[in-house]
Amino acid sequence: MKKHTLTITSLFVLATLLLSACNAIPASQATANNPGAEANAQATVAPAIQSQVGDTSGLLAAYEGALENVYTQVNPSVVNIQVVDRQGAADLDSGQFPFGFDTPEGNFPDVPEYSQGLGSGFVWDTEGHIVTNNHVVAGADQIEVTFSDGTTLPATLVGADSYSDLAVLKVENAGDLLRPVQVADSSQVKVGGLAIAIGNPYGLDGTMTLGIISALGRSLPASDGNTFGPVYSIPNVIQTDAPINPGNSGGVLVDENGQVVGVTAAIESSSNANAGIGFVIPSNIVSKVVPDLIDTGSYEHPYLGISGTDLSSEMVAAMDLSDGQRGVLVVTATEDGPAAKAGIRASADMATVDGLDVPVGGDVITGINGQPIKKMNELIAYLNDQTEVGQTVTLSLLRDAEETTLDVTLEARPSSTPVPSVVETLPEVREPATESGSAWLGIWGAQLTPEIAEAMNLSDDQQGVLVLQVENGSPAEEAGLQASDEEVTLSGQTVMIGGDIITALDGNPVSSLDELRSLIQTYQPDTEVTLSVLRNGETVEVPVILAERPSNLP
């Protein structure tokens, strides 16, 4: 008889397969537009094996059988998405999921060039709605959906929401190909639970990978890559070690019962391939956003209108607060935003902590509607999960070390503002002017766009400030920052590329010259800061001693 050896890990995974870990949301509760999901999930995928305890061959067979059942149930609901867009028009993938576009070669005058991309999606209902990531289809001129049997149908975009990175497509005349998924309650997901990803990595359709839930409560930047201004966060993001690769975007992460716990969206990797850290938009966000995208084409997110940071022990000391005080320090309040209208106070002072200037003096949010708040992520999650546009919430605050409350009526989060085309944004200007005597770096730069990033062989979602020129005698020159030295033609315009890309200052992300300027102005001249710089595809840390801005500069 052939001998089977099961590791402790295998036995643990098998035990997980055979026990339900998550409570499913019936399709009728997940959305009224999902009538086929309930029938789709009737089959039991966890076989009983009480009689096989101690029989390793039986355990192995049950383990394999359970996985096979999950795949048989879910794979027909997962689709391959192909998109085509005019060159430079779309940011087809963000996070760390570059697709590797195929562009035509040769000289074809008066014929537009096109880019192609691949992603994943899944069937939401029997009406033909398909859910995927917004970054998969953003800006696409043509979208096609291929089902597991090889049938390919054209699709139209019904609605999209960059702030949750979700989009809904629709196909017509799909008939029996429409096998909706069943959606689980992601609030019941636990670390250590089984995680099964199904999607189309590198275009390899119907690929299933296996892992566990690695962590909960992560957050992802919520931006379509084509916006100025604030970057928001997607809360309650699930982390998994199930292998996820380019092309998995928009696919599903399911539990041992084949129920969707989230949508695979991004990875953390230095090589843009699986490194065991994948991020998944939780199904509870999907269940809230998708019905509105189907009904209205958009989703309104509750908006408070602040930027904030977790209160650190150093800030507590600088603000003469009680030891161990927790909460969210309000750094800025958006002009005419809900919080500003209600009278919330932003930080107006600076304190030096470990040689760095940090904001202090603003209101500290310690609770919302009686729910204690210790971190910014908790505040974001509460607003997302428990509130709606137009609702009045009560913030518990510390103001000048005294407890108080403030009522704020939430508004809809502002729509993103499109970035001008590369022709309109290049060449960029000198480091934005500030008052003479303020801190100064000394560069000319440009906000990195997808077109520039592609020309520099970077991921098209890479953010930062490209150094175009370095001022003579400036701190930037003394620190050895490298200016652009290569000419390329983008959208008919000659621009310089190849220089350093500033991505952060003292760990604070930088995506535009205005952001860089704002961060620099929190420091005094003669202060040493550390720039995170992308140079020749590698990240290096560059120490810079800021100087006083010369009075003769414009």
Catalytic pick from 94, 120, 164, 249? 249
Asked if residues 137 and 118 have their Cβ atoms less than 8 Å apart, the reply is: no
Catalytic pick from 93, 125, 165, 460? 165
- Reported in sequence order, the residue ranges of 134-192 that DSSP labels E, i.e. its strands, are 142-146, 152-161, 166-171, 183-184
How many Cβ atoms sit within 10 Å of the Cβ of residue 331? 16
Environment class of 112 (CB within 10 Å of its CB; exposed 0-12, middle 13-18, buried 19+): exposed
How many Cβ atoms sit within 10 Å of the Cβ of residue 308? 26
353-358 own/partner pairs: CB under 8 Å, 24+ apart: 353/312, 353/314, 353/315, 353/318, 354/314, 355/527, 355/528, 356/506, 356/523, 356/527, 357/522, 357/523, 357/524, 357/527, 358/312, 358/314, 358/315, 358/318, 358/522
> How far apart, in Å, are the Cα atoms of 35 and each of 26, 66, 145?
10, 26, 21
Contacts of 241 (CB under 8 A, 6+ apart): 195, 211, 212, 214, 276, 277, 278
Phi and psi at residue 100, to the nearest 5°: 75, 80
The dihedral built from the CA positions of residue 500, 503, 507 and 513, taken in this order, carries a sign that is positive
Q: Token match 């890479």: residue?
A: 462
Q: Token match 């049938």: residue?
A: 151
How far apart, in whole angstroms, are the C-alpha atoms of residue 251 and residue 119?
8
Angle at 434 between CA 433 and CA 438, to 5 degrees: 135
Environment class of 20 (CB within 10 Å of its CB; exposed 0-12, middle 13-18, buried 19+): middle
Q: Token match 């003394």: residue?
A: 478
HSE-up (13 A, CA, CB side) for residue 264: 36
DSSP tally for the chain: helices H, then strands E: 13, 34
Catalytic pick from 91, 93, 94, 135? 135
User: Distance from first CA to last CA of the chain, Å, rounded?
Assistant: 85
91 is known as an active-site residue? no
Name the CA radius of gyration of the chain, rounded: 26
165 is known as an active-site residue? yes
How far apart, in whole angstroms, are the C-alpha atoms of residue 70 and residue 86?
38
How far apart, in whole angstroms, are the C-alpha atoms of residue 121 and residue 253?
11
Asked if residues 168 and 130 have their Cβ atoms less than 8 Å apart, the reply is: yes
Active site residue ranges: 135, 165, 249
